[in-house]
């Protein structure tokens, strides 16, 4: 359901142009000739040794140092027609933030980012830049190696945070309008921040005991440290956002109940929390987890520190992770860190079809993850204690392209073989969370269980109720969730003003 | 944070936990449960809602101290706070005028079944209540259950009650004498299983409140999956109530035991860390 890049809108074009013709930018362009810039090598993201990092949960990437970041920023040609901006789902003013880094104005660069991206320190770490801004970067066309836009985004926002220089905008006097945000994932957090800055009174209702959605229960510490997320939540608190944790909308109170309590506008950002299973024999054996369960146990409940923390997780010596997306990479790398001798991806298509970020795949390979492509399990086999001990698999080959444009995997007859495993993590996607739909009968739900919206405004069929992120898209990305949220926030602000 | 109003031992090993949760108290329905965490390092565990008071704004559960989380809970007192207390979760029990309904409960289920007994009576049913206790001193809430019961039976191995039987034997006897329209059973897995088996030959609809291991309790993880009539269901959102004759009991028994060794390790660690220090 995720949509592809768009042409720059007229406003975006005008904004780009205004920045482009500023004096300091002109001078900076003149200072180093394009040819020179094109010769500079892409600065490598410093990372911890594979053999050291695959044993703990500390962050893998260490972040560019200031010197490296400035060099990397110099590689950017500051194009008159910056393709990268069109490649970014939220249209970040990429050349300007990069040129601010080149000028050494790091905190200013971070603020520039925040004009369009509420969570740059997170997006800098988890966005699939190689298929977005970096894919269409003009430097890539010219030299084959794009500007490391993601690494620079991460750098600027990290510096701002680490220097305690986070800018808290002045909040206008309260408008008196109450807004309810359902779900504290990236979508909900973004709407909360945007509307709090407009002076509305925001309450975020979250079912779990920590805010962040997938960012806190799904994406592991080694890729997105909790302290980054904590800083973002802290920032929202400073903007006056109230968090109501352990509040399951639909159960603790319904959307209608909240309306009765005086909430005027709603944003549904409850994500795609329902794990899909393979529906093959033996799937309920002990030792078969959904990726959600596995990652929640380890990340949210800190099972990696069991028994200091009470929640256990099966360690697994031979672990198979089914799937080829980011969720699968996170699961398999987690298994390795918990001591697995064999930690393998089992994926029914081939390497090129894997939807995971390229960086994660590289990191996984370096860390000793095995990849079994064109393989699919057909049943799980248990021991006398009903614990999984093996799975029967089939080899596949690629046939005709399917509706997604990827070649459809077809089983090779008679190719069954047995793979011995003691832990399986099923990571074949999630569906939208059905709870809100079930408890809000008026709300229009699409055939995939998604909340239906008008894509221009993110409005649902219910007045004052907007939605965005995975609950409307199915499993998508952080940046798309945030893009939806920004559109919704703008419309909600208009709605509140009109009704006020 | 959720404040504890009362934590009191009802009988050996079984405790009452009453907390301040006004929003929840307004919405609780019989058969629903809460997810809670006893402390910041705790596990999220489910407990059935055994009572609530919408006016006072409190919600109560009855729990049996069996492992780390429940032992930790048993040491808390009024004024202490729980970092997680979320609910009410799960589908409410079906309450209608069925005719004659027998409610069978044991251990924590004696408390957990109370709202169902009450609601069934209020819906105009003839309610038989059957309680299993190992010994007479383990009986609690007898008075309030009797208040809503037309008949009250006990199965026990204690000579105090003049019956030395397990719950299915008593259930079978009741079945011989009276026509039941439905049986509802809550308690340990074995109790629910044996009640279901006792009613199977006569085909009397038997509802059980399944208790698989849970993590989030909102349908996000699938830890709680159970097989019902050959299909996988998530007990926390599709249940916890299911038709006892359709449950794959074997699977539930072994899945509940998945973490047996970890549970022992956890308890030893916690005892050493917190109890022996004092
Ligand atoms: C393991 C993993 C790795 C990923 N890696 C990447 C990556 O590298 N890059 C990338 O761009 N994307 C990645 N994604 C996808 C990305 O995280 C999601 O697209 C994004 O988080 C969606 O945001 P959201 O706000 O819509 O929903 P979510 O993040 O799912 O948040 C929804 C929130 O709503 C809460 N909620 C649900 N129901 C209720 C209710 N009834 N009441 C109250 N609260 C409720 C949930 O508890 C949750 O906190 C990954 C996903 C996973 C699972
Ligand atoms: C819907 C539901 C309602 C329940 N209602 C009650 C109740 O009202 N009173 C009561 O005393 N108990 C109830 N239980 C069982 C209760 O949740 C477990 O006894 C409790 O989690 C044990 O935790 P522990 O750490 O003390 O023990 P542990 O040593 O961890 O485990 C003891 C046993 O409890 C079960 N268990 C362990 N962890 C979990 C978990 N996270 N979720 C579910 N079961 C687990 C295991 O099968 C294990 O054999 C209910 C369970 C469910 C699913
Ligand atoms: S397309 Fe590449 S080189 Fe051009 S402005 Fe964007 S990042 Fe810089
Ligand atoms: S407890 Fe996680 S889905 Fe039921």
Could you tell me if A223 and A60 are in contact, meaning their C-beta atoms sit under 8 angstroms apart? yes
Using the Cβ of A385 and the Cβ atoms of chain B, whether some distance falls under 8 Å is answered with yes
Q: Detail the DSSP E strand segments found in chain B.
A: 2-11, 14-20, 33-37, 45-48, 51-53, 58-64, 81-82, 84-89, 100-106, 126-133, 151-156, 182-186, 206-209, 225-228, 231-234, 241-243
B153 pLDDT more than 60: yes
Residue A4 confidence (pLDDT): 41
Determine the CATH number of domain A277-428: 3.50.50.60
Tokens of B259: 């973490």
Average pLDDT over residues B180-190: 94
Q: Is residue B244 part of a domain?
A: no
Digit-coded pLDDT (tens) for A336-385: 999 999 999 999 999 988 999 888 899 999 999 999 999 999 999 999 99
Helices (H), A253-344: 255-260, 291-295, 326-337
Residue A211 confidence (pLDDT): 95
- A484 in contact with ligand 1, CB cutoff 6 A: no
DSSP code of residue B138: G
For tokens 């795949």, the residue is: A361
Handedness of CA B41, B47, B53, B54 (dihedral sign): positive
A392 pLDDT more than 90: yes
Average pLDDT over residues A208-231: 93
Same domain, B68 and B143: no
Digit-coded pLDDT (tens) for A45-92: 999 999 889 988 999 999 999 999 999 999 999 998 898 998 888 889
Q: Which residue has the higher pLDDT, A301 or A404?
A: A301
For tokens 């959307």, the residue is: A255
Could you tell me if A226 and A302 are in contact, meaning their C-beta atoms sit under 8 angstroms apart? no
Write the residue in A277, A308, A309 that is nearest to B222 by C-beta. Answer: A277
Q: Which domain holds residue B145?
A: 100-209
CA distance B230 to B245: 12
Tokens of B215: 């993590």
Digit-coded pLDDT (tens) for A459-484: 999 999 999 999 999 889 999 999 99
CATH no. for residue B64? 2.40.30.10
**pLDDT tier for residue B171 given thresholds of 50, 70 and 90:** confident
Helices (H), B187-248: 189-199, 235-238
Digit-coded pLDDT (tens) for A108-144: 999 999 888 888 999 999 999 988 999 999 999 889 9
Q: How far is the CA of B70 from the centre of ligand 2 (A)?
A: 8
For tokens 């393979």, the residue is: A278
B50 pLDDT more than 70: yes
**pLDDT tier for residue B277 given thresholds of 50, 70 and 90:** low
Q: What global pTM score does this model have? A: 0.92
Domain chopping of chain A, boundaries: 10-162, 178-273+431-496, 277-428
Tokens of A187: 């979508």
Count: domains in chain B? 2
For a ligand 2 pocket test, name from B61, B66, B109, B255 the mutation site with the most ligand atoms within 8 angstroms of its C-beta. Answer: B66
Q: Is residue B250 part of a domain?
A: no
Digit-coded pLDDT (tens) for B251-269: 999 999 999 999 999 999 9
**A385:B232 CB<8 A:** no
Residue A91 confidence (pLDDT): 87
CA distance A117 to A160: 14
Same domain, B43 and B81: yes
Using the Cβ of A293 and the Cβ atoms of chain B, whether some distance falls under 8 Å is answered with yes
Of B47, B69, B89, the residue at which a domain comes to its end is B89
Any bridge partners for residue A451, and if so which? Answer: A445
Domain A10-162 has CATH 1.10.1060.10: yes
In Å, the largest CA–CA distance within chain B is: 57
**pLDDT tier for residue B206 given thresholds of 50, 70 and 90:** very high
**A311:B44 CB<8 A:** yes
- A436 in contact with ligand 1, CB cutoff 6 A: yes
A189 pLDDT more than 50: yes
For residue A438, the chain B residue with the least C-alpha distance is B237
| β-pair type (A318-322, A342-346) | parallel
The CATH number corresponding to A178-273+431-496 among 3.50.50.60, 3.40.605.10, 3.40.50.620, 3.90.230.10 equals: 3.50.50.60
Residue A114 confidence (pLDDT): 87
CA distance A382 to A393: 15
Residue A2 confidence (pLDDT): 37
Average pLDDT over residues B103-122: 95
Digit-coded pLDDT (tens) for A141-161: 889 999 999 999 999 999 988
Write the residue in A248, A284, A290 that is nearest to B255 by C-beta. Answer: A284
Q: Mean pLDDT for chain B?
A: 93
Average pLDDT over residues A249-256: 94
Q: Mean pLDDT for chain A?
A: 91
CA distance A19 to A100: 11
CA distance B125 to B99: 5
Residue A166 confidence (pLDDT): 79
Residue A499 confidence (pLDDT): 58
Residue A5 confidence (pLDDT): 43
Q: What Cα–Cα distance (Å) separates residue B64 from each residue in B11, B59, B118, B210?
A: 10, 17, 22, 16
Q: Which A residues 422-451 touch B at CB under 8 Å?
A: 433-435
Could you tell me if A20 and A95 are in contact, meaning their C-beta atoms sit under 8 angstroms apart? yes
């Amino acid at each position: 359901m995720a949509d592809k890049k768009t042409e720059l809108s007229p406003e975006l074009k005008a904004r780009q142009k205004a920045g482009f013709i500023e004096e300091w930018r002109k001078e900076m362009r003149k200072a180093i000739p394009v040819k020179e810039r094109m010769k500079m090598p892409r600065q490598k993201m410093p990372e911890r040794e594979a053999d050291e990092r695959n044993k703990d949960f500390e962050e893998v990437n260490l972040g560019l140092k200031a010197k490296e970041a400035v060099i990397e920023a110099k590689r950017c040609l500051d194009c008159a027609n910056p393709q990268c901006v069109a490649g970014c789902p939220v249209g970040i003013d990429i050349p300007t933030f990069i040129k601010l880094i080149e000028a050494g104005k790091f905190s200013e660069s971070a603020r520039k980012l925040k004009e369009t991206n509420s969570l740059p320190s997170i997006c800098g770490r988890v966005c699939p830049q190689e298929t977005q801004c970096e894919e269409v970067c003009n430097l890539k066309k010219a030299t084959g190696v794009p500007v490391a836009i993601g690494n620079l985004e991460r750098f600027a926002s990290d510096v701002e945070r680490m220097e305690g220089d986070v800018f808290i905008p002045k909040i206008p006097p309260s408008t008196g309008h109450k807004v309810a945000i359902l779900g504290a994932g990236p979508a909900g957090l973004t709407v909360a921040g945007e509307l709090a800055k407009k002076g509305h009174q925001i309450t975020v209702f979250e079912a779990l005991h920590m805010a962040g959605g997938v960012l806190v229960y799904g994406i592991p510490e080694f890729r997105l440290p909790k302290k980054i997320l904590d800083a973002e939540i802290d920032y929202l608190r400073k903007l006056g956002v109230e968090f109501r944790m352990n509040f399951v909308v639909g159960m603790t109170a319904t959307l209608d109940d909240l309306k009765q309590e005086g909430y005027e506008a709603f944003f549904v950002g409850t994500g795609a929390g329902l794990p899909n299973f393979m529906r093959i024999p033996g799937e309920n054996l002990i030792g078969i987890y959904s990726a959600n369960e596995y990652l929640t146990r380890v990340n949210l409940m800190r099972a990696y520190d069991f028994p200091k923390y009470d929640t256990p997780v099966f360690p697994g010596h031979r672990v198979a992770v089914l799937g080829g997306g980011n969720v699968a990479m996170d699961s398999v790398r987690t298994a390795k860190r918990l001591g697995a001798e064999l930690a393998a991806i089992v994926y029914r298509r081939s390497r090129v079809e894997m939807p995971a970020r390229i960086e994660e795949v590289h990191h996984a390979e370096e860390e000793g993850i095995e990849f079994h492509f064109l393989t699919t399990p057909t049943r799980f086999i248990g021991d006398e204690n009903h614990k999984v001990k093996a799975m029967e698999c089939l080899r596949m080959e690629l046939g005709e392209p399917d509706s997604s444009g990827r070649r459809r995997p077809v089983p090779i007859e008679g190719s069954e073989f047995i793979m011995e495993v003691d832990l399986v993590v099923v990571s074949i996607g999630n569906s939208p969370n059905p709870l809100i739909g079930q408890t809000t009968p008026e709300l229009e739900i699409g055939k995939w269980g998604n909340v239906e919206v008008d894509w221009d405004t993110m409005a649902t069929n219910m007045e004052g109720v907007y939605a965005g992120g995975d609950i409307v898209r199915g499993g998508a990305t952080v940046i798309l969730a945030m893009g939806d949220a920004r559109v919704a926030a703008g419309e909600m602000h208009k709605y509140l003003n009109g009704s006020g | 944070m959720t404040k504890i109003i009362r934590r009191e031992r009802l009988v050996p090993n079984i405790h009452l936990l009453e907390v301040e949760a006004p929003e929840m108290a307004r919405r609780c329905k019989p058969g629903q449960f809460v997810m809670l965490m006893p402390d910041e390092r705790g596990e999220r565990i489910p407990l059935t809602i055994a009572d609530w008071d919408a006016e006072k704004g409190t919600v109560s559960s009855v729990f049996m101290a069996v492992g780390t989380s429940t032992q930790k809970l048993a040491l808390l007192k009024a004024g202490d706070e729980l970092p997680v207390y979320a609910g009410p979760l799960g589908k409410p029990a079906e309450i209608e005028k069925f005719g004659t309904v027998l409610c069978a409960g044991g251990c924590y289920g004696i408390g957990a079944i109370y709202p169902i007994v009450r609601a069934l009576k209020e819906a105009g049913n003839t309610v038989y209540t059957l309680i299993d206790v190992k010994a007479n001193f383990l009986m609690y809430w007898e008075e309030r259950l009797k208040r809503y019961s037309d008949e009250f039976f006990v199965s026990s191995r204690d000579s105090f009650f003049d019956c030395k039987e397990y719950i299915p034997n008593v259930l079978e006897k009741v079945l011989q004498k009276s026509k039941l329209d439905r049986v509802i059973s809550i308690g340990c897995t074995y109790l629910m299983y044996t009640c279901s088996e006792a009613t199977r030959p006569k085909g009397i609809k038997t509802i059980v409140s399944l208790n698989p291991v849970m993590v989030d309790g909102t349908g996000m993880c699938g830890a709680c999956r159970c097989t019902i009539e050959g299909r996988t269901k998530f007990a926390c959102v599709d249940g916890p109530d299911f038709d006892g004759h359709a449950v794959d009991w074997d699977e539930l028994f072994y899945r509940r035991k998945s973490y047996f060794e970890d549970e022992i390790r956890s308890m030893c660690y916690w005892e050493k860390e917190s109890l022996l220090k004092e």
